[in-house]
Structure 1
Amino acid sequence: MREVMTRQVTAVQADAPFKDVAEVLVTSGISAVPVLGEDDRVIGVVSEGDLMRKEEFREQYWGESYRPPLRARLRRRLTGAGEEGARKAAGHTAADLMTSPAVTVPASASTVRAARIMDESGVKRLVVTDAEGRLEGIVSRRDLLRMYLRDDDEIRRRVIEGLEPRSRWDDRDGIIVEVHDGIVTLSGHLDRRSEAAAAVHAAERTDGIVGVRESLGWKEDDILELPLTWDRP
């Protein structure tokens, strides 16, 4: 994660006034900002959308005819977000406006895990924190996509580095690694089928690969496969 995240991150304190938060977003050209609490730990995130709640609800406060679109009303009814929106609309500080808890990812996490968290949480960026919950950076979808700009030689080097520390593979040098357009091909012959499976798994965990193909052979099939069907007693 440390390789792809943005380290220079603008953040605001929990007691930052509404106008100060808006100014940070506008002058920094960003759409969201982490909110820090005690000991500079990340306690939430304020986005442009959170600030726009005030404008969205303004006409309702004045008894005018504005109503959010039907889709927005249904979403709020299903998720219970109506009260949350009203709270943010009335907010004056970052703590009032923020979405909490923030969706975070440890600095030690893999990019695969970061992408999975983004997908599951429906967010476009993650706050990167250390073990104590303190801000270390921000990783966005665009940051993750940069991995796929690595050339084939760089990807091949990283795959080989991922294979080499596994000293239990006696015939490590027998694994041939080829990369074309980000697709890794593993070939060669190993002692055991489990070693071949481990090699494929290690390659698949390499950041920036498009896919893995394998044509590995082995001398001993040491992986127990359960039968697809069995007779019940």
Structure 2
Amino acid sequence: MRTLVENVMTTDVAAVNQNASFHTVAELLISRGVSGLPVLDDDNHVLGVVSEADLLAKEEFKERYYGDDYRPPLRARIRHTAGSEGSGYRKSLGETAGALMTSPAHTTAPDAAIVTAARLMDRHGVKRLPVVDADGRLVGIVSRRDLIKVFLRLDKDIEQQVRDALHGKAEVTVTDAVVTLTGTYAERSQAVTAIRLAENIDGVVAVHDTLDWKHDDIADLPIWGGA
């Protein structure tokens, strides 16, 4: 059985309403020891995510204009608003979570496989994903650390799951989550399938094999195409 997001996510989520003040957001980030918060509407729908980086945009633009009391001229403000730095400049003026957040949020579902969540994080360069139900309401949050937990499975549990997946047709040993397969299959394709099944078990770091086969049915397959 594949591990799902709901099996590893945190349900006690630190989140803020879109109308929460800058100060409230900063205070919650510090008190909960997190670097980002889902931003919600009044019906618990996820609108975006506000992070430490979003808050720091205010200090970044203060520093850029050499002092808290200095307000850049209209031409400079228009240039930053319209240019590539426009988003950061707009955030520097924000006073609420809704104005500061990055939107839309990248989210996942409770019944998504953890590998799907990991790919989303990698694709979008984020460290966590709000978990939402079918209506887009927040039900949890999953972080990179949560996904790594799957690699802490006991060797004996991984070994049993691999044995079950292979129906006892290969010898299985597991050390530090590395699976070793030995044995002989009737067909080469069966050995290849066994390796793939073992690799797909949650928590498996690598698969080493010395599998053999009596008949190379893969080599017997016709080669299509050609001149």
More displaced, 54-63 or 110-119? 54-63
Report the Cα distance in structure 2 between the residues aligned to 1:18 and 1:121, rounded to whole angstroms. Answer: 25
Residue in structure 2 matching 1:202, options 197, 200, 203: 197
Report the Cα distance in structure 2 between the residues aligned to 1:145 and 1:82, rounded to whole angstroms. Answer: 34
Report the Cα distance in structure 2 between the residues aligned to 1:101 and 1:226, rounded to whole angstroms. Answer: 49
Residue type of the partner of 1:106?
A: A
Match of 1:188 in 2: 183
Q: In structure 2, do the counterparts of structure 1 residues 83 and 217 end up closer, same or farther at CA, with 3 Å as the change threshold?
A: same
Residue in structure 1 matching 2:14, options 10, 14, 39: 10
Q: Give the deviation of 1:213 after TM superposition.
A: 2.1
* Identity among equivalent pairs (%): 47
Q: Give the deviation of 1:47 after TM superposition.
A: 0.4
2:109 pairs with 1:106: yes
Match of 2:55 in 1: 51
Q: Give the deviation of 1:181 after TM superposition.
A: 1.9
Residue in structure 1 matching 2:40, options 36, 43, 65: 36
Q: Deviations over 1:6-30 (max 9, x none)?
A: 2211111122222221221122121
Report the Cα distance in structure 1 between the residues aligned to 2:221 and 2:109, rounded to whole angstroms. Answer: 35
Q: Alignment partner of 1:91: what SS? A: coil
Q: Alignment partner of 1:103: what SS? A: coil
Q: Deviations over 1:153-181 (max 9, x none)?
A: 122123334x16xxxxxxx2223221122
Report the Cα distance in structure 1 between the residues aligned to 2:135 and 2:153, rounded to whole angstroms. Answer: 32
Check conservation: 1:6, 1:138, Cα contact below 8 A: yes
Match of 2:90 in 1: 87
Q: In structure 2, do the counterparts of structure 1 residues 45 and 155 end up closer, same or farther at CA, with 3 Å as the change threshold?
A: same
Match of 2:209 in 1: 214
Q: Alignment partner of 1:104: what SS? A: coil
Match of 1:177 in 2: 172
Residue type of the partner of 2:211?
A: L
Report the Cα distance in structure 2 between the residues aligned to 1:29 and 1:217, rounded to whole angstroms. Answer: 52
Report the Cα distance in structure 1 between the residues aligned to 2:21 and 2:50, rounded to whole angstroms. Answer: 12
Q: Give the deviation of 1:200 after TM superposition.
A: 2.3
Match of 1:133 in 2: 136
Match of 2:75 in 1: none
Residue in structure 1 matching 2:154, options 151, 156, 159: 151
Q: Alignment partner of 2:211: what SS? A: strand
Residue type of the partner of 1:146?
A: K
Q: In structure 2, do the counterparts of structure 1 residues 155 and 21 end up closer, same or farther at CA, with 3 Å as the change threshold?
A: same
Check conservation: 1:35, 1:46, Cα contact below 8 A: yes
Q: In structure 2, do the counterparts of structure 1 residues 187 and 141 end up closer, same or farther at CA, with 3 Å as the change threshold?
A: same
Report the Cα distance in structure 2 between the residues aligned to 1:19 and 1:142, rounded to whole angstroms. Answer: 27
Gaps of 5+ in 1: 66-76, 165-171
2:127 pairs with 1:124: yes
Output the TM-score relative to the length of structure 1.
Answer: 0.76
Output the TM-score relative to the length of structure 2.
Answer: 0.78
Check conservation: 1:112, 1:207, Cα contact below 8 A: no
Residue in structure 2 matching 1:160, options 163, 166, 173: 163
Q: In structure 2, do the counterparts of structure 1 residues 225 and 22 end up closer, same or farther at CA, with 3 Å as the change threshold?
A: farther
More displaced, 44-53 or 139-148? 139-148
Q: In structure 2, do the counterparts of structure 1 residues 143 and 225 end up closer, same or farther at CA, with 3 Å as the change threshold?
A: farther
The root-mean-square deviation of aligned C-alpha atoms, in Å, is: 2.9
Q: In structure 2, do the counterparts of structure 1 residues 225 and 8 end up closer, same or farther at CA, with 3 Å as the change threshold?
A: farther
Report the Cα distance in structure 1 between the residues aligned to 2:176 and 2:126, rounded to whole angstroms. Answer: 29
